[in-house]
A and B are shown apart, each in its own frame.
Chain A
């Protein structure tokens, strides 16, 4: 029988650094909640808003798969592999920190906020060679259907990471539903609602609510209103 866990938006951690407002689904930095450490290999889901021209200065990472999904505005990325890029809504960025990487992420815009999701997945292999990737997605490919934006394979749709994880984005009109089949035995799915109302397993989720579901091989996602959402399919044991 399917197991579920509901994370309402207002139960997330919150950090206000003036230039940064971060809502944290799992323990991160100053937010520590032993009940909110991870959902399987999903360790971080930060819903960040950064003031114009501000951002995260150069800092290191290792052994983590880090994915950024811009929701509004432009995010400027620089890293120690000499990558310089600006990503915007409709793009997705993936970085394997591996043996070590330094990077910075700034709001490229001097007048508007940037809003983005920062997602960290535990890697299935430690100490890999660091790598960076970003792609632009066709927004129409998620209208009333699921658009795969991340997978474990370089040959599959979207960016790829070192973990048996799949991400899908959906932008559904009210009343549209679809069945999602979990990609790998032992995986679970963390659904994060970006806007609108989504119904899964009889649970109604509103903007920024999340539902984790596991011990099942499929479930139905229904849009209670026009809605946008992200499905994060990850190993529950890793």
Chain B
């Protein structure tokens, strides 16, 4: 089964690494982590992402910019704010966003 590709954007390197690790604990998901907007925009075309998680430190300006870019590139993309930083909320957030 093909893994669901998830792009994670966050500014805190250790928290981003934790979120990526926790997402990848699910054998059906694969996470790509990016610390900057530029990195995220560049990564977006490299895989068939279904979901973008905007994590800690991503301010409103970046959020607006990333939303605009991702939605223009792929209108079906789901973009959600991730709260909690690699916490017990992560799986439920992803399930909710993917409608599964």
> Which residues of A are at the interface with B, using a C-beta cutoff of 8 A?
27-30, 32, 34, 37, 43-44, 59-64, 97-100, 102, 120, 122, 126-127
User: A100 and B57: CB pair below 8 A?
Assistant: yes
Does B87 reach chain A (CB closer than 8 Å)? Answer: yes
Chain A, interface SS category: loop
User: A62 and B56: CB pair below 8 A?
Assistant: yes
Partner of B96, one of A37, A61, A127: A37
> Which residues of B are at the interface with A, using a C-beta cutoff of 8 A?
10-12, 14-15, 18, 55-59, 81, 83-89, 91-92, 95-96
B-side contacts of A29, CB under 8 Å: 88, 91
Chain B, interface SS category: loop
In angstroms, how far is the closest chain B Cβ from the Cβ of A4? 24
Considering the complex, give the chain B residue whose CB is closest to the CB of A46. B88
CA gap between A60 and B14 in the complex, in Å: 8
CA gap between A37 and B92 in the complex, in Å: 8
In angstroms, how far is the closest chain B Cβ from the Cβ of A58? 10
Tell which of A29, A61, A120 has the most Cβ of chain B within 10 Å: A61
In angstroms, how far is the closest chain B Cβ from the Cβ of A22? 9
B-side contacts of A44, CB under 8 Å: 88-89
B-side contacts of A127, CB under 8 Å: 56-59
User: A63 and B92: CB pair below 8 A?
Assistant: no
CA gap between A19 and B38 in the complex, in Å: 43
CA gap between A119 and B11 in the complex, in Å: 25
Partner of A120, one of B10, B18, B84, B91: B84
Tell which of A59, A62, A99 has the most Cβ of chain B within 10 Å: A62
Given contacts A99-B56, A100-B12, A127-B59, contact A61 B85 (CB under 8 A): yes
User: B59 and A64: CB pair below 8 A?
Assistant: no
In angstroms, how far is the closest chain A Cβ from the Cβ of B35? 13
Considering the complex, give the chain A residue whose CB is closest to the CB of B17. A60
User: B96 and A34: CB pair below 8 A?
Assistant: yes
User: B84 and A62: CB pair below 8 A?
Assistant: yes
In angstroms, how far is the closest chain A Cβ from the Cβ of B29? 14
CA gap between A237 and B85 in the complex, in Å: 22
In angstroms, how far is the closest chain A Cβ from the Cβ of B93? 9
